[in-house]
């Protein structure tokens, strides 16, 4: 750039000097970002060698110019020097805008995105790139699990669904690079379709306050962002490789970024992950392998005044589901629960058989923004997602290789956002959202649709304002309105239709009756209001207090509305309800945090009161030819969740650090006066880490994780008659497993290969003591233990 | 302004997407469960060419809330040998699909088990086997003893351990059929 400016100076301008040459060029030099006036900027006119400096008001005047074109170099101590071509005709005025504090700006953009932009009165927890790299071989859920207040609802060890303060699925919204993930997130056994390696920053907002994203995040919002690319000429990348003993597999991920001084950039990234059957300390978990492939491409131009961004990601994951978890009716379930080991244990294999999931997710996003003086930053985004979910069951005959579930969910969204600074103290964010979603369930499965065909339309509008009362005090208010319209085609069994009294209630939606099924066309409207109000007070540089109240409303999802039939993977019959209305949550969260190099902590109590909370629970036993099945019906109740999360970190010496985490949550069904199902048990994580920058940044850490037994749970046990023993037996689907303690070890060391490249070698052992345990929040806990000891070697190469 | 043009073009493109997406007004195709077993019929033919006794369980809507219908045609004769055969049908399809054929084709992955309540005086024996000589049990012989009554349960397991000791517990696998009939021997 500098070279360019100099060459322009030398050869740039051969202006005619013979004309009328008493014109002036006057004007100001200002900062591109905040339009502040730049004093002391130097302007040099090529050809005439004339040099002037701007005064305290950023003003300059150059005299003795002829009509014609001049090359002018403008420089400032804190700015990138720039060359301009100026056409002078008579007395001319011109404003030069300089990129002020280049490096600092990048910093601000990065931090601004991650911390400042959303929900300023809710304390956020963040996982940085280096922490995320620790989970390179795992899943998004594994990474989130490392935060206090986050647990996960698992199906085996590879389907990991994040749970925030006791809530999950449709109540936790995931924003992947500005796009709300629409990947059939309603299902408890559906993990988010994001490769953890495609994310550079992960931010968790434990509440619904980030209204620019959604108004229905009753549990919380997870914001995943891709790498921010600096505005400078560079080429860099990284490659990570992991080898794991448990599952005998590996993952490889690579990323390459090219950026230019003029703001253009492109990043390409890809991951391949392959594991065979995982193992507990005592046996192989047959059919638990996983094969994941993903790639993403991110490109665009980032200028201060405007920018354009394109993002595309592809994610494909094939996941084996524990063979022994596929059971028939209640008597099979009883046998499985009463047995200490899974009913099927075979030799280790990489093959993934039935039951299995095969999920593909495409996500494409195009975003542009422009800054308008006096208006603010206006952004427009269009995104498209296609989620294809195939679930294969154990089937017989001609259907053996056919999927039992084949759903394709397409979502188009247009977002228009305006971020304006009304004054130095007031920032206002407003926006509009329009979304269209269509679900297609392939009838060729030969199994009745779990989720019916539907079209869904959403319209949303929001406004969030924050006001800096003074240096220490910030207030935030926001409101959002969403309209949802669902137009579905649903086949009901005639017997169910009549049994649930739908023939009386919804006679007008019947289209036709065929055999023992009725085709209906439910058309549903939901009007949801959400709001947030909060304050942040900084006592000094160290202490900060956050207070936030949020009102969130969530329309029922297709599963809650339309479920009707046997859910094979859960071995139960599930029933939705067409009459559901939106659930409405009121959450109050307070956070006190201290940031200090020696002792830091954060305490985060919360209370979440949810009206018309949709919960699924057993109501009866249905006899079928395959045996007895429990019937689980969704119903609406009032729920109350309360608890607190605690984080603390203490530096013992320069090299030793203690970290502590404690999460506590209780959930109650207030109508039935009983605990809510699947609430995370109290858990605590404590670690001691040693780090020495002098010895190649050697890092050693020992972590202890203690999970208490969940003592509060609803009793959903039922009895089943076993002809062989001629007795009635209790099928214990409720009692949680005992407490457990795990020790994990991790270490890493850096080696500088060349000046620009670095190799990090890491070695980890999880479940160091090789404990056998079961996890209350694993849906397969009835059938098998959790994973045994795992040795992991990871190599990271930065270049 | 070029940018404004771009913006408006995108807005327009977006609205087009929304506008033309609702083009399929046709109703979706009905799905009839393919593998479901709606009807289990056990036919017991006495060796003295007397009247057959049939035990039938019918549940036409599968896992729907419709009633299960048990029909036992009559009582068994004491001290008699019966040839038994089991037929499984999917009657949601028309004509009804014979699932027994599939079970017999994949005989190594299936096995019927007969559970006799302690008060009921009868014994059973397998009459057909898979390729490895392990029992399949869609055909069997039933020998009655003295007059008594109790339940007789037929359980079909998919992918049981084979060979097994004849108990459901040892066989494992997944239950495809569990039909319990009240039987009387006179």
- Does residue A501 register a pLDDT over 90? yes
What pLDDT does residue A3 have?
A: 44
What pLDDT does residue A593 have?
A: 93
Chain A interface includes B46 (CB < 8 A): no
Which of A70-74, A149-153, A216-220, A289-293 is the least confident region?
A70-74
Q: Which of A207, A241, A239, A238 is nearest to A222 (CA)?
A: A207
Q: Can you spell out the DSSP letters for B154-175? A: EEEEES--SS--S-HHHH-SEE
Looking at beta carbons, which residues of chain B come within 8 Å of A335? 168-169, 172
**What is the chain B residue with the closest CA to A436?**
B18
Contact A453 B28 (CB under 8 A): yes
CB pairs under 8 A between A and B: 178
Q: Tokens representing A136?
A: 């390179």
CA dist A578 → A502, A506, A522, A558, A564 (Å): 9, 9, 8, 10, 11
Cβ A71 vs Cβ A47: under 8 Å = yes
What pLDDT does residue A211 have?
A: 93
Contact B177 A625 (CB under 8 A): yes
Chain A interface includes B185 (CB < 8 A): no
Cβ A206 vs Cβ A769: under 8 Å = no
Chain B closest CA to A507's CA: distance in Å?
18
What pLDDT does residue B16 have?
A: 46
- Does residue A210 register a pLDDT over 70? yes
- Strand pairing of B53-58 and B69-72? antiparallel
Cβ B166 vs Cβ B145: under 8 Å = no
Looking at beta carbons, which residues of chain A come within 8 Å of B57? 625
Measure the CA–CA gap between A582 and A741, rounded to whole angstroms: 40
- A612's CB contacts (< 8 A; 6+ apart) are A580, A581, A582, A583, A584, A636, A637, A638
- A573's CB contacts (< 8 A; 6+ apart) are A565, A566, A567, A622, A629, A630, A631, A632, B63
Contact A328 B22 (CB under 8 A): no
Mean pLDDT, residues A380-392: 96
For chain A, the average pLDDT equals 89
Residue A131 CA to its chain's centroid (Å): 15
Q: Tokens representing A650?
A: 């203490």
Chain B closest CA to A737's CA: distance in Å?
23
- Does residue A519 register a pLDDT over 90? yes
Chain B interface includes A340 (CB < 8 A): no
What are the beta bridge partners of residue A614? A636
Cβ A472 vs Cβ A436: under 8 Å = no
Chain A closest CA to B112's CA: distance in Å?
13
Asked, as a colleague might, if the bond just before A355 is cis with ω within 30 of 0, I would say yes
Greatest Cα-to-Cα distance within chain A, rounded to the nearest angstrom: 116
Contact B168 A724 (CB under 8 A): yes
Contact A414 B11 (CB under 8 A): yes
What is the distance in angstroms between the CA of the first residue and the CA of the last residue of chain B? 98
Helix (H, G, I), strand (E, B) or coil at B121: coil
Q: Which of A408, A423, A432 is nearest to A481 (CA)?
A: A432
Measure the CA–CA gap between A739 and A682, rounded to whole angstroms: 10
pLDDT in tens, B13-68: 444 444 444 444 578 998 887 778 999 999 999 998 889 999 999 998 877 777 88
What pLDDT does residue B146 have?
A: 95
Chain B interface includes A522 (CB < 8 A): no
Q: Where are the alpha helices (DSSP H) in chain B?
A: 2-20, 99-105, 168-171
Chain A closest CA to B80's CA: distance in Å?
24
**Using CB atoms within 10 A of its CB, is residue A195 exposed (0-12), middle (13-18) or buried (19+)?**
buried
What pLDDT does residue B1 have?
A: 45
Of B10, B13, B33, the CB nearest to A448: B33
Looking at beta carbons, which residues of chain B come within 8 Å of A520? none
Measure the CA–CA gap between A227 and A258, rounded to whole angstroms: 12
Looking at beta carbons, which residues of chain B come within 8 Å of A724? 115, 153, 167-169
Mean pLDDT, residues A612-635: 88
Of A328, A443, A494, the CB nearest to B175: A328
Chain B interface includes A448 (CB < 8 A): yes
Interface test with A, best of B64, B101, B116, B177 (most A CBs within 10 A): B64
pLDDT in tens, A682-718: 999 999 999 999 999 999 999 999 999 999 999 999 9
Contact B65 A493 (CB under 8 A): yes
């Amino acid at each position: 750039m500098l070279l360019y400016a100099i060459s322009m100076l030398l050869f740039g301008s051969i202006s005619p000097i013979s004309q009328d040459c008493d014109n002036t060029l006057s004007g100001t030099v200002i900062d591109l970002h905040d339009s502040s006036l730049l004093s002391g900027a130097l302007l040099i006119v090529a050809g005439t060698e004339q040099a002037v400096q701007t005064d305290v008001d950023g003003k300059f005047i150059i005299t003795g110019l002829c009509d014609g074109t001049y090359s002018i170099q403008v420089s400032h101590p804190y700015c990138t020097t720039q060359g301009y071509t100026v056409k002078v005709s008579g007395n001319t005025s011109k404003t030069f805008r300089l990129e002020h504090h280049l490096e600092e700006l990048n910093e601000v953009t990065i931090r601004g995105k991650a911390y400042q932009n959303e929900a300023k009165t809710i304390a956020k927890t963040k996982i940085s790139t280096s922490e995320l790299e620790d989970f390179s071989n795992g899943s998004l859920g594994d990474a989130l699990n490392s935060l206090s207040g986050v647990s996960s609802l698992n199906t085996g060890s590879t389907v990991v669904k994040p749970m925030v303060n006791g809530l999950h699925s449709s109540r936790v919204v995931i924003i992947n690079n500005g796009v709300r993930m629409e990947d059939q997130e309603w299902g408890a056994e559906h993990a988010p379709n994001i490769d953890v390696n495609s994310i550079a920053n992960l931010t968790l907002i434990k509440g619904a306050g980030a209204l620019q994203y959604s108004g229905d995040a009753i549990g919380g919002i997870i914001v995943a962002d891709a790498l921010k690319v600096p505005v400078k000429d560079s080429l860099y990348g990284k490659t990570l490789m992991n080898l794991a003993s448990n599952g005998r597999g590996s993952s490889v991920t690579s990323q390459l970024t090219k950026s230019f001084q003029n703001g253009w950039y492109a990043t390409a990234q890809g991951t391949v992950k392959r594991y065979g059957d995982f193992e507990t300390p005592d046996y192989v978990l047959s059919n638990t392998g996983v094969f994941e492939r993903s790639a993403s491409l991110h490109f665009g131009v980032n200028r201060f005044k405007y920018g354009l961004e394109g993002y595309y990601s592809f994610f494909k994951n094939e996941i084996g589901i524990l063979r022994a978890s596929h059971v028939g009716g209640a008597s099979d379930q009883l046998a499985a629960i009463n047995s200490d080991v899974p009913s099927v244990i075979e030799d280790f294999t990489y093959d993934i058989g039935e039951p299995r999931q095969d999920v593909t997710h495409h996500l494409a996003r195009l975003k542009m923004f422009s800054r308008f003086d006096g208006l603010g930053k206006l952004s427009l985004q269009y995104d498209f997602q296609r989620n294809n979910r195939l679930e294969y069951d154990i089937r017989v005959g001609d259907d053996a290789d056919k999927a039992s579930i084949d759903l394709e969910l397409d979502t188009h969204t247009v977002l228009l956002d305006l971020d304006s600074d009304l004054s130095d103290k007031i920032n206002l964010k407003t926006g509009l959202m329009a979304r269209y979603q269509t679900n297609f369930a392939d009838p060729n499965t030969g199994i009745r649709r779990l989720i019916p065909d539907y079209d869904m339309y959403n319209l949303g509008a929001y406004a969030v304002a924050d006001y800096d009362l003074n240096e220490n005090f910030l207030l935030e208010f926001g409101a959002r309105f969403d309209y949802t319209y669902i137009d579905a085609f649903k086949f009901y069994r005639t017997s169910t239709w009549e049994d649930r009294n739908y023939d009386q209630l919804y006679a007008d939606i019947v289209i036709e009756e065929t055999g023992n099924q009725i085709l209906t066309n439910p058309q549903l409207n939901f009007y949801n209001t959400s709001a947030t109000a909060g304050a942040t007070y900084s006592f000094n540089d160290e202490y900060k207090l956050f207070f936030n109240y949020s009102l969130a409303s969530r329309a029922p999802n297709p599963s809650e509305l339309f479920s009707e039939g046997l859910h094979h993977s859960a071995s139960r019959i599930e029933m939705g309800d067409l009459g559901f209305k939106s659930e409405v949550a009121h959450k109050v969260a307070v956070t006190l945090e201290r940031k200090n190099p020696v002792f830091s902590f954060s305490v985060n109590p919360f209370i979440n009161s949810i009206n018309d909370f949709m919960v699924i629970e057993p109501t009866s036993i249905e006899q079928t030819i395959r045996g007895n099945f429990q019937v689980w019906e969704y119903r609406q109740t009032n729920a109350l969740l309360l608890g607190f999360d605690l984080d603390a970190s203490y530096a013992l010496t320069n090299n030793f650090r203690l970290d502590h985490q404690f999460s506590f949550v209780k959930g109650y069904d207030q109508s039935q006066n009983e605990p809510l199902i699947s609430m995370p048990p109290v858990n605590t994580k404590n670690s001691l880490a040693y780090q020495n920058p002098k010895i190649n940044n050697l890092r050693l850490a020992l972590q202890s994780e203690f999970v208490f037994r969940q003592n509060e749970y609803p009793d959903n046990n039922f009895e089943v008659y076993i002809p062989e023993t001629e007795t009635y037996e209790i099928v214990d689907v409720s009692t949680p497993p005992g407490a457990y303690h795990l020790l994990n070890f991790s270490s890493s060391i850096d080696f500088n290969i060349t000046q620009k490249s670095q190799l990090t070698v890491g070695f980890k052992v999880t479940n160091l003591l090789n404990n056998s345990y079961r996890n209350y929040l694993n849906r397969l806990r009835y059938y098998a233990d959790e994973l045994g000891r795992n040795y992991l070697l990871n190599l990271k190469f930065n270049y | 302004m070029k940018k404004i043009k771009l913006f408006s073009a995108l807005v327009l493109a977006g609205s087009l997407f929304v506008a033309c997406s609702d083009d399929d007004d046709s109703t979706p195709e009905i799905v009839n469960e393919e593998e479901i077993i709606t009807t289990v019929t056990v036919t017991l033919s006495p060796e003295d060419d007397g009247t057959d006794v049939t035990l039938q369980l019918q549940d036409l809507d599968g896992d729907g809330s419709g009633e299960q219908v048990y029909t036992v045609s009559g009582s068994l004769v004491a001290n008699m040998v019966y040839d038994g055969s089991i037929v499984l049908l999917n009657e949601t399809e028309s004509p009804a699909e014979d699932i027994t054929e599939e079970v017999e084709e994949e005989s190594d992955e299936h096995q019927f088990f007969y559970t006799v309540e302690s008060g009921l005086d009868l014994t059973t024996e397998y009459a057909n086997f898979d390729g490895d000589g392990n029992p399949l049990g869609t055909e069997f012989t039933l020998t009655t003893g003295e007059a008594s009554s109790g339940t007789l349960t037929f359980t079909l397991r998919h992918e049981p351990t084979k060979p097994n000791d004849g108990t459901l517990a040892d066989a494992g696998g997944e239950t495809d059929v569990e039909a319990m009939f009240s039987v009387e021997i006179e």
